[in-house]
Amino acid sequence: MEPLDQELDAAELELPTEPMLLNVGPAHPAMHGTVRIVMELSGEIIERCDVQVGYLHRGFEKMCERGTWTQVFPYVDRCNYVSPMLNNVGFALAGEKMLGITVPERCQWYRMILGEMARISDHLTCDGAMAMELGAFTPFLWMIKCREMVWEVMEEETGARMTHSFGRIGGMAAPPTDGFKDHVRAVVKHIMQVLDEVERLLLGNRIFLDRLENVGVISAEDAISLGWTGPCLRAAGVPYDVRKAHPYLKYGEVEFDVPVGSTSDSFDRFMVRIAEMRQSARIIEQCLERMPNKGPVNVDDPRIILPPKEEVYSTIEGTIQHFKIVMEGLKLPAGEVYSYTEAGNGELGFYLVSDGSGTPFRVRIRPPCFLVTAGLERVITGQMMADVVPSFGSLNMIGGECDR
Amino acid sequence: MGELKGTTTSILEPGQQSGFATTKFEALLAWAQKYSLFMNPFVTACCGMEFMAVSSPRYDFSRFGSEAPRFSPRQSDLLWVVGTIVQRQAPILKRIYEQMAEPKWVLAFGTCASTGGFYDNYACVAGIDKIIPCDVYVPGCPPRPEAVLDGLMLLQDKIQRGDRTPGIVKPRIDPVQQPDTALVQLRRSRSSRPPV
Amino acid sequence: MSKALIELVKKNFPSAVLETHSQLGDDTVVLAPGSWKQVAAFLLDNPQSDMNMLTDLTAVDFPDRDPRFEVVAHLYSLNRGHRLRIKARIGDRDGETVELDSLSELWGSANWLERECFDMFGVKFLGHPDLRRILLYPEFEGHPLRKDYPAEKIQPLLEYRDLPNINKVAPFGPDEGMSFGRQTHKLGIYSDDEEQGSRNKIITPADN
């Protein structure tokens, strides 16, 4: 019997296909609830896509223009809700840059320790969620358990598990507690053990590696042009870290390395985060050694810092001081400033415009996530549909920061 | 546990080999429903982090029969609205709610979902009850996991009683009655802290 | 630190630079809107400046000034480690024609940043490939970060539910709502008078 297709040429053997439109999100579990991707698929390959954000636009910048400078802190907390302390410190530093003051040494170390703890919690969440989205549930549980320990430290220090509102322009809301150093040491030690276990669990797993390696590749030039910063840029081999390039607080005095990736794929981004947690632990260790146990935490300036409660209730000066700061707000001098720190996802910038009154004229946050998410389109175009989840997960999009 | 007692009446009758229980059908159905809440987490914002904490080992709401997340609304009974709902997201939330099959319950997780919180502006919906009916409100920004578990237990209690009146989770300890043990104890080592 | 950057721009574009300052160490150049893109391209290509990253682009609304809006961009050079803020003052009092050249051909990040700026302030970027709203929905009217947009003005996509007392659906009194662990305290502010009782009335399905 002769074959049926003998008169057909090769082109006719192919099935005619039409591009298919597929909508993922915003209520898709892997899209973190706030991103929608409209994809045009040819088979399983993404030909074109449109990333739509804004499903968590809460009007952060408008809300900031309604209160005092101190009242911005709670909103800043909720921008990056995985590492709120870094945002707190970033905003406080912006305000301090505008006032031209430097906080006491003890406060700087304190801020660094809390900030690095927040960075660890951020990376734990990102890597854990990424593993969970690929089906590895155990590392997620372990890492969330670790994050719980970080939050316990935070709760003991600040009173809140995740939205601390603990930073103040000119200091912190409270000095460190007595058992702070021991507690942090114990927690960090445990987290490093869990990290080793997680690595052993994941890095020997063929499925996990296959789904991440050479997936979501972006060139360093593209990443720079797109304004990527933080772990995503470092995974592309660009060693840009604000803590190293423009040291703030005491980062110039501690030793740490900036881990960089080589292939700029999702796996590199995963590993850069793991490595950064180890570096954070290194920084914390040095900070704990060098942080003085005694000494002031807040700057000694009654125009900036609220007086202690005993003074407010017992002296007239204290009452007036308190009243002026609370009712009129802290007055930043007229002008503008751009201050930048390294947050969990990259360069977190604050562009503040003040008109000299107690109310912010404009608070602009430069969200690292927003620009990283802007690159998602370039990362996933030309890839398989199934690779969207690891690629997106490795970018660590935080809705509150991306959409504000 | 307050009023959780005495809602199911079951009497074990002595039989030849094995006993059998009698109860009212509604009570049995409600009992089954309240311990097998398939949930659809509609996670948008900050509270999602706390939601992860509630679902993870330390707090673990699987203990309450609310283990299985179903990301298809058609298979779920309980809609967790976790986080701020903005105007742009409102139609999506409503559609997901409408896709769920009866009987269905809604739990507003956090202040933003309950009332809009301090996002009183052009972008946000001031509480999901403007759009969909809501059964339990868990205030807090974000609520502590204990409060969430209270909310879940409150919902189970309401399911058992067939009560669809909205309920709010309140602090278990009343600061008015016990000023020594309430809100002032936020920091454990507060007493030993040096004055600022 | 790098006043040299300001000098560099001044030297090459003497007519485009309207104003410079280095307040708090942030070097700033205010440019004429017409040469916005030209100067930006120069800063990107010139090896002395080498601004290969556009870190931020936003706008500020000054309702009292005549060019009402100030578009602010922050440039950064990864290789040289210096920053420069460039600004352009545009727009009339009404905010009707607010236009500026787009930088999206020069930096990839300008694409979304300009879309956001358009969304929030209504600045039209000429030559932008895809100038849509990004954070808000297409049905939204107006630009919320302008100072004349009231912060509370909502534009809902959905009709709110048709219930009496919609602004107060849940029972928010001290003794209502939670039925277990309920507190039986009596606070002075919540007395048992008739008025209070009706204000905190529970809305049940039977009421509707």
pLDDT digits (tens, 9 = 90+) for C117-158: 998 888 888 888 888 888 888 888 888 888 888 888 888 888
Residue with tokens 């398939």: B38
Q: Choose, out of B122, B134, B148, B157, the residue to mutate when testing the contact with C (most C CBs < 10 Å).
A: B122
Tokens (6 digits) for A245:
């390039």
- pLDDT grade for C187, boundaries at 50, 70 and 90: very low
For residue range A143-195, what is the model confidence (pLDDT) as tens digits?
988 888 898 888 888 888 888 888 888 888 888 888 888 889 989 999 999 99
B10 or A394, which is more confident = A394
B26 or A196, which is more confident = A196
| Mean pLDDT rounded to a whole number for chain C | 77
- What pLDDT does A5 receive? 62
> Which chain A residues have a beta carbon less than 8 Å from that of C81?
245-246
Residues 6+ away with beta carbon under 8 Å from B185: none
- Comparing CB atoms, the residue among C136, C160, C172 nearest residue B88 is C136
Instruction: Give the number of C-alpha atoms closer than 13 A to the C-alpha of residue A9, restricted to the C-beta side.
Output: 1
Q: Which secondary structure element, helix H or strand E, spans residue C83, and what is its range? A: strand C83-90
The mean pLDDT value for C32-38 works out to: 88
- pLDDT grade for B165, boundaries at 50, 70 and 90: confident
- What pLDDT does B181 receive? 55
Is pLDDT of B160 > 60? yes
- pLDDT grade for C6, boundaries at 50, 70 and 90: confident
The answer to whether the CB of B89 falls within 8 A of the CB of B115 is: no
* Among the listed residues A340, A244, A239, A236, the one whose alpha carbon sits nearest the alpha carbon of residue A283: A244
pTM: 0.84
How far does the CA of residue A136 sit from the closest CA of chain C (Å)?
Answer: 33
Q: How many CB atoms lie within 10 A of CB A386?
A: 10
Q: Choose, out of C147, C148, C179, the residue to mutate when testing the contact with B (most B CBs < 10 Å).
A: C179
For residue range B59-103, what is the model confidence (pLDDT) as tens digits?
888 888 777 778 888 888 889 998 889 888 889 888 889 989 888
The beta strands (E) that lie in A285-400 are given as: 335-343, 346-354, 362-366
- pLDDT grade for B188, boundaries at 50, 70 and 90: very low
Q: Cα–Cα distance between B44 and A36 in angstroms, integer?
A: 12
DSSP state of A295: S
- What pLDDT does B180 receive? 61
How far does the CA of residue A206 sit from the closest CA of chain C (Å)?
Answer: 35
The mean pLDDT value for B125-146 works out to: 86
How far does the CA of residue B159 sit from the closest CA of chain A (Å)?
Answer: 26
> Which chain B residues have a beta carbon less than 8 Å from that of A58?
45, 84, 86, 119, 121, 123-124
Say whether C23 and A336 touch across the interface (CB within 8 A).
Answer: yes
The runs of H, that is alpha helices, within chain B are: 25-34, 47-55, 90-99, 111-115, 145-161
Is pLDDT of B2 > 50? no
For residue range C10-24, what is the model confidence (pLDDT) as tens digits?
888 888 888 888 888
Q: Cα–Cα distance between B154 and B163 in angstroms, integer?
A: 11
Task: Put residue B104 in one of left, alpha, beta given phi > 0 → left and psi -120 to 50 → alpha.
Answer: beta
* Percentage of chain C lying above the pLDDT 70 cut: 77
Say whether A58 and B84 touch across the interface (CB within 8 A).
Answer: yes
State whether residue B134 sits within 8 Å of chain C by CB. yes
Could you tell me which chain B residue has the CA closest to the CA of A300? B196
* Among the listed residues B130, B137, B31, the one whose alpha carbon sits nearest the alpha carbon of residue B80: B137
* Percentage of chain B lying above the pLDDT 90 cut: 1
Is pLDDT of C100 > 60? yes
Query: Interface partners of B (3+ CB pairs, < 8 Å)?
Result: A, C
DSSP string, A268-291: HHHHHHHHHHHHHHHHHHHHHHHS
- pLDDT grade for B196, boundaries at 50, 70 and 90: very low
| Mean pLDDT rounded to a whole number for chain B | 77
Exposure string for B114-125, b = 16+ CB within 10 A, e = fewer: bbbbbbebbbbb
Q: What is the largest CA-CA distance in chain A?
A: 108
- What pLDDT does A250 receive? 87
Is pLDDT of C59 > 60? yes
Extract the residue ranges of chain A whose pLDDT is less than 70: 1-8, 12-13, 16
Q: How many CB atoms lie within 10 A of CB A185?
A: 13
Q: What end-to-end distance do the CA atoms of chain C give, in Å? A: 69
The answer to whether the CB of B65 falls within 8 A of the CB of B194 is: no
Query: Interface partners of C (3+ CB pairs, < 8 Å)?
Result: A, B
- What pLDDT does B8 receive? 52
**Could you tell me the CA-to-CA distances from B137 to A22, B64, C70 in Å, in that order?**
35, 18, 43
Is pLDDT of C207 > 50? no
Angle, helices A105-133 vs A266-290, to 10°: value is: 150
Say whether A222 and C108 touch across the interface (CB within 8 A).
Answer: yes
- Comparing CB atoms, the residue among B50, B141, B189 nearest residue A177 is B189
State whether residue B131 sits within 8 Å of chain C by CB. yes
Q: How many CB atoms lie within 10 A of CB B35?
A: 13
